[in-house]
Structure 1
Amino acid sequence: MTNALAPFTLKGFYLLTWGTALGTNAWHLVSSHKAYTTLDRESFSHLQASMHPAYFGTSTLLSGALLATHLYFHPVLLRRAAWWGLEEGVQGLLILGAFVPQLINWVAVGPRAIRLLYERHRAERSGKVAVSENVGVADPQPAQDVAAANSAFSTIHGVSSTLNLVSGLSLAALGLAVSM
């Protein structure tokens, strides 16, 4: 009877939270790629701008719940600074490796990326207007604005993607660490 109720225990919650966090990360990777290859750029951008806050929020909350549960099971970690010396500490560090990047993405990098995304769209639209108004005359300013907007967005998107990758790898490594 105890095994039948396993999902409703704190250990079951820990396992389900880890699986959901890892699955959310993997699904985000697959669905973003599929959306990128299927939708036009503007539709894809609007979709991502709508989905990313929810994704980063969910991932952060799941990783936070995972960390809280882990610390509940291993309260010695609350009294010890050198976590890397304990097996449970290494697992806790892996959870932090998932939680912190997602928190940074949710609070700082993600909102900035969305802002830069819309700035890039505005720069592209103003560049098209400037070229059509000056038929046959190319104005270099809109092209520079578009290039600057693309560069800024590409940089912050790269940071966000790297943080997301670190989080996903940490969650996968946690699964390996717990299973060994």
Structure 2
Amino acid sequence: MEELIAKIWSLIGLFTLLQNILPQPLHQILMQWLSSIKDYFRPRYYHLEIPEYKDSLAVNANELYYNIERYLESLDGITRARRLTVFRARNSSNLGFCPAFDEVVEDSFRGVRLYWTHTAQPEPHTAGGGGGGNAMNERRCFTLKAAQPGKEFLCAYFDFIANRAAELN
């Protein structure tokens, strides 16, 4: 460990020396190169949106959205959330808890950390006739933030969620 710390301090000293003796154009090239190396090692996060409905007419319900809602209710991490939405289905005595809008809930699957956020965005009412001109709908969706997920990983994760949601019903 001491050897690693000594090497890090040596690198810091070398970069400080180079920063002071290199002409400005070479200094800029060195800094760009170091920045690209830093970006290479930093995980890239992808954000996947899972809307409640496929389209703005609220006709094609997204089953995955409801599976995720049920799944997130079951997570232990939901109890660590600062804000929850509490609901009770009609003709049910059970309470449901889901993350409040913009609350982040952490999950883990196959050793990968995943972050869920529930959002709602106002959307103008698009159905023709009947409604007032100021009627608004909400476009609700879950957003999954994951570091470089592959398609195979995502399919397995969403299958896991669907199976878990089915068990909860």
Larger radius of gyration: 2
Normalised to the residue count of structure 1, the TM-score between the two structures is 0.26
Of Structure 1 and Structure 2, which has the larger fraction of its residues in helix? 1
Of Structure 1 and Structure 2, which has the larger fraction of its residues in strand? 2
